[in-house]
Amino acid sequence: MPDAPNLVFALEARVQVGAPVEIGHTLKGQRRVVPILGGTFEGPSLRGVVLGGGADWQIVHADGLSELDSRYTLQTTAGDLVYVQNAGVRHAARDVMRRLLDGQPVDPAAVYFRTRATFETAAPDWARLTRSIVVGDGERYPSEVVMRFWIVE
C-alpha cells in the first residue's frame, strides 16, 4: 500500500459571522446565507485580517447535512489581497445539528466539518497556496467559525 500524502499546516482563520439569512426551502434544500463580518488569520509566514463582505452560502438537507460554499477575502499585513473559496460539508447527530443551526454552542468534536479551499491572488508570497490542493477542518461557534487549512503534499 502506498503512503498517504503529507499535510503541511498553512494557516488558521478566525472568522466572525452574522446571523444566518434564511432564504427558505428550495428544490435543493433549506437555503441560508451566513454573512462574514471580518476576522483574523495567521500561518507560519503570513498573517492578516479577514475582510467583511463575504458569506457562506449553505444548503441544509432534511437529515442535517450542510453543503457549504464560503467566499471571502483575506488581507495580509503586507496589504496583499487573497480571494478564498472554501467548499465542504458539515454534519453531526440530528440533535447536535439542530442546536448548531439554531446558533447554540456545540462540542466541535461532535461535528464533521471538512472543506477544500482554493486561493487566488497576484501576490507571489501566496503562490504555493494557489497551486496546491488545500484541505480544511472547521469548528462552528455561535458567532465565529475557526478554520484550519493544510496543504496536501
Q: What is the pLDDT of residues 36-62, one digit of tens each?
A: 999 999 999 889 999 999 999 999 999
For residues 118-138, give the mean pLDDT: 95
| Domains delineated in the chain | 7-152 (2.40.160.20)
pLDDT above 90: residue 101: no
pLDDT value of residue 123: 94
φ and ψ of 7, to 5 deg = -110, 135
- The sign of the CA dihedral 17, 90, 112, 138 is negative
- What DSSP element (H or E) covers 84? strand 81-92
pLDDT value of residue 3: 94
pLDDT above 90: residue 33: yes
pLDDT above 90: residue 71: yes
The alpha helices in 56-118, defined as continuous H runs, are 94-101
Q: Please list, in sequence order, all residues whose beta carbon lies within 8 angstroms of the beta carbon of residue 55, skipping any fewer than 6 positions away.
A: 33, 34, 35, 36, 70, 71, 72
Band of pLDDT at residue 103, cut at 50, 70 and 90: confident
pLDDT value of residue 110: 95
Percentage of the chain beyond pLDDT 90 is 90
Alpha-carbon distance of 132 to 4, in angstroms, equals 16
The backbone region for 94, taken as left when phi is positive above 0, alpha when psi lies in -120 to 50, beta otherwise, is alpha
